[in-house]
A = this chain, B = another copy of it.
């Protein structure tokens, strides 16, 4: 039996990771290219819940909306929910410049995935702690991956094989929790039919 999940994104890197992570649970991931309305908020839960609510009834279910951010401790959590904007404007170099001469390099990546299915929206959070490197290293992944070293590793996310990143990352954690929930939803496997709107 095929289990299909709709993933709302225009980010190819996220889609690749969602396919790897959700694929382990037997889900086939279809990309949905709908516009997400993202609020300005320091709470990723609020960002994804609002975006998901705007898409209910417009996107086939079950669908997933995910948002993530890099929270750097010494910068008061910056760039947080605005990570993709900051990546596009300041880039990796700008963030490294902000940390020049800064000893505390603690940071965490946070991902929140919202699942909309059968009239219910649930959010799942995944985090990974680590540090910001002193220079960009590696070319895999996307965004701030070249400067994030997860605790317990010497490699940045961008130096890791994607399969390894997809075992330990914030996104892997939020999507795994989501997949486990979806598998538990009663009657999912017997009653589920993809509903196109």
Contacts and interface: CB of A to CB of B under 8 A. Distances in A.
Interface stretch (A56-64, A82-90, A113-121, A144-152): A82-90
A85 B39 contact: no
A41 to B, nearest CB: 8
Contacts of A82: 40, 82, 85
A181 interface: no
A94 interface: yes
Copies in the complex: 2
Interface in A144-170: none
Contacts of A81: 40
A98 interface: yes
Interface in A44-78: 47, 50, 75-78
B90 A78 contact: yes
A38 interface: yes
Interface of A: 37-40, 42, 47, 50, 75-78, 80-82, 85-86, 88-90, 94, 97-98, 100
Given A40-B40, A75-B90, A78-B94, 9 more contacts: A38-B40, A40-B47, A40-B82, A42-B85, A76-B88, A78-B85, A80-B85, A80-B89, A82-B85
